[in-house]
Amino acid sequence: MAGIYIHVPFCKKACHYCNFHFSTQIQHIDDYVQALLREIALQKNYLSDKVETLYFGGGTPSLLNESQLEKIFTSIASNFPLADHIECTLEANPDDINLSKTRAWKNIGINRLSIGIQSFQKEALSWMNRAHNTQQSHLAIENAKLAGINNISTDLIYGTPLLTDEALMSDIEILNEYDIPHISCYALTVEEKTALYSLIQKQKIENVNSEKQARHFEIVVEQLNELGYEHYEVSNFAKPGLRSHHNSNYWKGVPYLGLGPSAHSYNKDSRQWNIANNHLYIQSILQDKIPFEIEHLDRATQYNEFMMIRLRLLEGFSMEEIKDQFGDVYVQHTLQVLASLLLQDKIENTPLGYAIPKKARFLSDGIASDFFIV
C-alpha cells in the first residue's frame, strides 16, 4: 500500500497562525496545475505499491475548480496503479463549500472532506483571521451531507485566548449533533515567521497560555470519549472504523509521494521535499527537473522517527516490532528507556506492547524524545 499527497499552495487569506507554505496570488493556480501534472508523470516510478489513499492538502485545495481536479485525477490514474477502493480526501474551507461544488467533488471521486471549521465562535475566528464565518461552517457541513459525502473530518483549534472552556465544549457538541465521524483537535502553536508571532511580540494581541491549552486538551479528550469517539492519535478522534486511512499510514511508516511545492515524500530509506517556492517549482518542473532536497535515513534516524510517530498512536508499539525492524541492539536500548518511563507512569503496558497513558498524551512528543538516539 502507498499514498499520494498533493500540496495546493494557495489561500484567499492568510490565517495569523499558519506556517505552512502558501501564496495568496491565486491568479497563478492554473500555472501550478500544469506543473503539477508534469510532476506526476516525472514521479510515476517513485512508488512500488498500489496507491490506496489520495490527499489534497494545503493551502486551500478547495480553490481548485472542477476541471483542474479532474485533470489531476486523470493524471494520477494514468501514472500510478490504484487500489480498488481509494480514500480520497480534499481539505476545504467553509467559505468555499456549496452544494454545487460538493456534488461535483463527489462525481470526480472525492469521498472524504476535511473541513477547516477551527471554531464556531465568532470571536475565536476573528482572532485567527479566518476567512469564513460561523454560518458558513454550518452550511458547509450541511451541503457536504446533502451531496452524499458523509465521511467528514473537521478541524478544531483550542487554547486560543478568546476561547472559553464553555465555548470549546459547545463547539464539540455542535459537531456531535452533526454526527461528524472524525475530528482533529489542535492546540494553537505560535510559530516564528507567522503574523501571529509578530503580533504577540509587538504586544498587539494576547499570547496563548500553556495551562489553558493543557486544560482544553483534557476537556477535548473527556468530552469526545464520552461521545463515543476513539482517541486514536494525539490530535485525532474518530468514530469506530472511521479513522483517517491516509494519516494513519503516515504514522505506520507506509511510503508516500508528495507532489507540489514544499511537499514531502518518504520511501522508508529516504525522505525528500520539494522547494517551498511556487515560481521556482513551476519553472523547474517545466524543464523536467524536480526541485527537491533529500535526506537518506540512517538506522538511528529511522528508529527515532518510528518512536515519535508510534507513541502518538493509541496502540503505541511492541517489542516485536522493534526487534523485527531494528534488531537486538535497539531492543536493549528501548528496554533501558522503558524501565525509567514505566516508573514515572509516562508509559504503560498494553495488550499489544507499550503506549503513553491518557493522562500524559499531551506530552507525547517529549516522552518520545526520551527514546531518541543521537
Q: In this model, does residue 19 exceed pLDDT 80?
A: no
Residues 358 and 219 in one domain: no
Average pLDDT over residues 37-46: 98
Cα–Cα distance, 53 to 256 (Å, whole number): 9
Cα–Cα distance, 268 to 176 (Å, whole number): 38
Cα–Cα distance, 262 to 167 (Å, whole number): 35
- Assess if residue 268 is contained within a domain: no
Residues 83 and 188 in one domain: yes
- Assess if residue 307 is contained within a domain: no
Bridge partners (DSSP) of residue 7 are 57
Identify the band that residue 217 occupies on the pLDDT scale cut at 50, 70 and 90.
very high
Q: Which of 222, 219, 242, 217 is nearest to 232 (CA)?
A: 242
HSE (CB half, 13 Å, CA atoms) of 160? 25
Average pLDDT over residues 279-295: 97
Give Dmax (Cα) for the chain.
58
Burial-class residue 40 by CB neighbours within 10 Å (0-12, 13-18, 19+). Answer: buried
- Of 213, 233, 250, which residue sits at a domain end? 250
- Assess if residue 244 is contained within a domain: yes
Identify the band that residue 45 occupies on the pLDDT scale cut at 50, 70 and 90.
very high
Average pLDDT over residues 331-358: 95
pLDDT of residue 14: 79
Q: What is the CATH number of the domain that holds 154?
A: 3.20.20.70
Residues 237 and 346 in one domain: no
Give, rounded to a whole angstrom, the gap between the first and last alpha carbons of the chain. Answer: 31
Average pLDDT over residues 267-292: 96
Identify the band that residue 100 occupies on the pLDDT scale cut at 50, 70 and 90.
very high
- Of 199, 220, 250, which residue sits at a domain end? 250
Residues 91 and 229 in one domain: yes
Identify the band that residue 15 occupies on the pLDDT scale cut at 50, 70 and 90.
confident
- Assess if residue 75 is contained within a domain: yes
pTM of the entire predicted model: 0.93
Cα–Cα distance, 15 to 261 (Å, whole number): 19
- Assess if residue 296 is contained within a domain: no
pLDDT of residue 194: 76
Q: Which of 9, 4, 5, 6 is nearest to 278 (CA)?
A: 9
pLDDT of residue 299: 95
- Assess if residue 273 is contained within a domain: no
Q: In this model, does residue 205 exceed pLDDT 80?
A: no
Residues 245 and 328 in one domain: no
The whole domain housing 374 covers 316-374
Mean pLDDT for all residues in the chain: 94
Q: What total of structural domains would you count in the chain?
A: 2
Residues 87 and 205 in one domain: yes
- Assess if residue 265 is contained within a domain: no
Residues 240 and 348 in one domain: no
Identify the band that residue 1 occupies on the pLDDT scale cut at 50, 70 and 90.
confident
Contact 366, 347 (CB under 8 A): no
pLDDT of residue 367: 95
Q: Which of 1, 360, 326 is nearest to 318 (CA)?
A: 326
pLDDT of residue 250: 93
Q: In this model, does residue 338 exceed pLDDT 90?
A: yes
Residues 322 and 240 in one domain: no
pLDDT tens, 69-84?
999 999 999 999 999 9
- Of 223, 250, 277, which residue sits at a domain end? 250
Residues 245 and 320 in one domain: no
Residues 48 and 175 in one domain: yes
Identify the band that residue 294 occupies on the pLDDT scale cut at 50, 70 and 90.
very high
Identify the band that residue 111 occupies on the pLDDT scale cut at 50, 70 and 90.
very high
Cα–Cα distance, 240 to 170 (Å, whole number): 23
Identify the band that residue 97 occupies on the pLDDT scale cut at 50, 70 and 90.
very high
39-48, 151-160, 197-206: least confidently modelled range? 197-206
Residues 151 and 227 in one domain: yes
- Assess if residue 110 is contained within a domain: yes
SS (H, E, C) the chain: CEEEEEEECECCCCCCCCCCCCECCHHHHHHHHHHHHHHHHHCCCCCCCCEEEEEEEECCHHHCCHHHHHHHHHHHHHHCCEEEEEEEEEEECHHHCCHHHHHHHHHHCCCEEEEEEECCCHHHHHHHCCCCCHHHHHHHHHHHHHCCCCCEEEEEEECCCCCCHHHHHHHHHHHHHCCCCEEEEEECCCCCCCHHHHHHHCCCCCCCCHHHHHHHHHHHHHHHHHCCCEEEECCEEECCCCCCHHHHHHHCCCCEEEECCCCEEECCCEEEEECCCHHHHHHHHHCCCCCEEEEECCHHHHHHHHHHHHCCECCCECHHHHHHHHCHHHHHHHHHHHHHHHHCCCCEECCCCEECCHHHHHHHHHHHHCCCCC
Q: Which residues contact 94 (CB under 8 A, 6 or more apart)?
A: 115, 116, 117, 132, 136, 137, 139, 140
Residues 225 and 323 in one domain: no
